[in-house]
């Protein structure tokens, strides 16, 4: 901080370019570069060609960034870019995961076949719902291809968020990932008012939480004299200043981060946003935002605040318990599949927080295993939801899904795989994830969390199974929803998600090994 402030005040000194390790930042640079390029495409490419160019560009950028992550896997890890970014094993693991999820998510987002050449987004985001302008845009067959640059910016922010090594970079990353999401949440083609309401809610509450985060960062700066995580850790270790600033700062910072992971009592936005947002976006957001936010939370807690773990651990444990209870109980009452999955996402956030609270390497490894397997499954689950349609878009009410196992066995079977995985049935990936989490918690001496988690799992099984019961054991409704026949891209995405969910349950050794060796944070 001080060098920057000093430079502006004193007499013009010869400018020395800061040393930036561009190679280690290349995955993020590729994504941000592609995002910028994508904005230019939006400005200059002819309307007819935009969709094709944007989708290609997005997928290529994500693949190239992933290749860059792979290429970096053996570099010396540490803090780069003048201490602003930490490129360590955990960062690379999470960045790779986010890119994979984003790639699969993009395949679903770009889908046009389920709705006769149109995608899931409003023909013209700016048009008033139900207006003449909207009808004309639809008739003209316009597509909101602005989604793709927004998506890329958001992915870039998500990659920076868990990599941020100081609180200001983290705040910037938080905003970069959130702002595009607020926008795309409001772009649903059907039920646009619901979608716009969701976007507004998300934006308002998100702005609140950002403010909390920023205030917390400021207080911690006041406490430690630096926003760098390592410096904060040193200050806590030295216990130099009064603890009031520290406690207030940790509390506010924690609220901002817990909002993003969707933990109770900061979960209120989740069901509305998940329900209102275009379903492909919901799937992407549910998976990728959670991964990024947990990455940031882990870094803040384990690097900066580990010295005061005795103070925040009971709080985090309490949050885990409340999150699991709220997610499990409220999910029981849902009739809408998207809302149900939203509460299930809250519940799963609770499980991950259990592993976080352990603050051990095993705990971090469990988080790192849980995030990708959960992300893949939730993207897959929402992708199935996009296929079940009636005249008003997707048929998300559970009663409409009756007998789907008979009329459309393949989507029903796929969704069952994902739901059974959420329920933690053995031979699915999330079962192994839960196992790792519970193991870390018990080894960390928190049996009470495991007991609550086990009871919440039993509760959760009930509502996951209710969907299976509706699909397989009840008879089809007379004018039931139609099942869209998706493009090869969505079929691939679904097949990959389902196979990964089973494969990581039957043979998790490789991913467990990877998550174990990746559980190293730059301190």
Interface with another protein by CB under 8 A: which residues? 406, 420, 423-427, 431-432, 434-436, 438-439, 442-443, 447, 450-451, 454-455, 457-458, 461-462, 465-466, 469, 472-476, 508-509, 512-513, 516
Residue 449 beta carbon to another protein: minimum distance, rounded to whole angstroms: 10
Nearer to another protein, 114 or 359 (CB): 359
The least CB distance from residue 409 to another protein, in Å, is: 8
Hey, which residues does 228 pair with through a beta bridge? 166
Provide, rounded to whole angstroms, the least separation between the CB of residue 438 and another protein: 5
Instruction: Outline where DSSP puts E strands in 229-383.
Output: none
The token pair at 161 is: 């968020």
Torsion angle, alpha carbons of 37, 42, 45, 48, to 10: 140
**17 vs 509, which CB is nearer to another protein?**
509
Tell me the closest approach of the beta carbon of residue 461 to another protein, in angstroms. 5
Helical axes 309-332 vs 447-473, angle rounded to 10°: 20
CB closer to another protein out of 152 and 340 = 340
CB of 239 to another protein, least distance (A): 32
Best CA proximity match to 410, nearest among 462, 467, 469, 471 = 471
Residue 336 Cβ vs another protein, minimum distance, rounded to whole Å: 20
Nearest C-alpha neighbor of 357 from the set 307, 303, 318, 304? 318
In the complex, least distance from residue 450 CB atom to another protein, rounded to whole angstroms? 5
Strand pairing of 85-87 and 482-483?
unpaired
Of 36 and 516, the one with the shorter C-beta distance to another protein is: 516
Q: Which of 517, 93, 101, 494 is nearest to 290 (CA)?
A: 101
Measured distance CA(487)–CA(494) in Å, rounded: 11
Distance CA(509)–CA(11), nearest Å, equals 59
Q: Is it true that the peptide bond before 265 is cis, omega within 30 degrees of 0?
A: yes
Instruction: For 146, list phi and psi in degrees, rounded to 5.
Output: -60, -15
Q: Name which of 22 and 462 has its Cβ closer to another protein.
A: 462
Least CB distance to another protein at residue 423 (A): 8
> Burial, 253: exposed, middle or buried (Cβ in 10 Å; 0-12, 13-18, 19+)?
buried
The answer to whether 241 touches 235, Cβ cutoff 8 Å, is yes
Residue with smaller CB distance to another protein, 238 or 426 = 426
Least Å from the CB of residue 498 to another protein: 15
Question: Please, where are the H alpha helices in 360-446?
Answer: 361-387, 404-407, 409-422, 429-443
Q: Report the residue number, 48 or 509, with the smaller CB distance to another protein.
A: 509
Residue whose C-alpha is closest to residue 116's, from 415, 385, 407, 393:
393
What is d(CA 422, CA 431) in angstroms, rounded to the nearest whole number? 8
Nearest CB to another protein, comparing residues 67 and 461 = 461
- Diameter of the chain measured on Cα atoms: 80
Choose between 83 and 476: whose C-beta lies nearer to another protein: 476
DSSP assignments along 46-111, one per residue: -HHHHHHHHHHHHHHHHHHHHHHHHHGGGSPPEEETTTTEEE-HHHHHHHHHHHHHHHHHHHHHT-
Closest approach, Cβ 396 to another protein, in A, equals 22
Q: Which residue's CB is nearer to another protein, number 167 or number 368? A: 368
Considering the complex, what minimum distance in angstroms separates the CB of residue 201 from another protein?
Answer: 34
Cβ proximity to another protein, 225 vs 476, nearer residue: 476
What the block records as the tokens of 253 is 């910072």
């Amino acid at each position: 901080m001080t060098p920057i402030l000093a430079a502006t005040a004193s007499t013009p000194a010869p400018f020395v370019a800061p040393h930036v390790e561009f190679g280690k930042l290349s995955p993020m640079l590729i994504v941000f570069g592609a995002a910028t390029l994508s904005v230019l495409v939006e400005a200059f490419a002819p309307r007819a060609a935009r969709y094709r160019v944007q989708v290609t560009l997005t997928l290529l950028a994500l693949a190239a960034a992933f290749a860059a992550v792979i290429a970096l896997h053996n570099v010396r890890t540490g803090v780069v870019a003048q201490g602003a970014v930490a490129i360590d094993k955990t960062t690379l693991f999470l960045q790779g995961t986010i890119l994979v999820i984003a790639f699969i998510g993009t395949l679903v987002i770009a889908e046009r076949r389920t709705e006769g050449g149109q995608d899931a987004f409003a023909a013209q985001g700016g048009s008033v719902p139900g207006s003449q302008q909207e009808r004309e845009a639809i008739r003209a067959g316009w597509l909101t291809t602005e989604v793709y640059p927004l998506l890329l910016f958001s992915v870039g922010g998500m990659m920076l968020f868990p990599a941020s090594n100081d609180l200001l970079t983290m705040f910037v990353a938080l905003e970069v990932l959130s702002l595009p999401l607020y926008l795309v949440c409001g772009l649903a083609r059907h039920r646009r008012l619901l979608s716009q309401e969701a976007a507004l809610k998300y934006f308002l509450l998100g702005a609140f939480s950002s403010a909390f985060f920023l205030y917390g960062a400021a207080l911690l700066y006041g406490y430690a004299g630096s926003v760098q995580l390592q410096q904060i850790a040193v200050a806590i270790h030295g216990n130099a200043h009064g603890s009031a600033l520290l406690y207030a700062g940790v509390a506010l910072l924690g609220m901002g981060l817990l909002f993003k992971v969707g933990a109770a009592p900061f979960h209120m936005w989740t069901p509305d946003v998940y329900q209102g947002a275009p379903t492909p976006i919901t799937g992407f957001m549910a998976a990728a935002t959670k991964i990024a936010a947990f990455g940031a939370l882990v870094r803040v807690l384990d690097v900066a605040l580990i010295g005061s773990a005795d103070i925040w651990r009971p709080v985090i444990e309490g949050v885990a318990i409340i999150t699991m209870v709220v997610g499990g109980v409220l999910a029981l009452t849902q009739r809408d599949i998207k809302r149900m999955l939203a509460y299930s996402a809250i519940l799963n956030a609770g499980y991950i927080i259990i592993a976080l609270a352990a603050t051990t390497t095993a705990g971090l490894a469990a988080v790192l295993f849980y995030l990708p397997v959960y992300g893949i499954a939730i993207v897959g689950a929402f992708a199935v939801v996009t296929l079940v349609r009636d005249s008003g878009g997707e048929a998300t009410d559970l009663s409409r899904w009756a007998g789907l196992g008979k009329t459309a066995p393949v989507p029903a079977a796929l969704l069952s795989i994902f739901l059974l995985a959420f329920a933690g049935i053995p031979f699915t990936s999330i079962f192994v994830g839960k196992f790792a989490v519970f193991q870390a918690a018990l080894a960390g001496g928190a049996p009470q969390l495991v007991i609550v988690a086990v009871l919440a799992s039993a509760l959760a099984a009930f509502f996951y199974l209710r969907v299976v019961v509706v699909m397989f054991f009840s008879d089809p409704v007379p004018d039931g929803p139609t099942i869209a026949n998706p493009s090869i891209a969505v079929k691939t995405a679904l097949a990959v998600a389902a196979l990964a969910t089973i494969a990581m349950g039957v043979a998790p050794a490789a991913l467990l090994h990877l998550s174990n060796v990746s559980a190293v944070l730059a301190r």
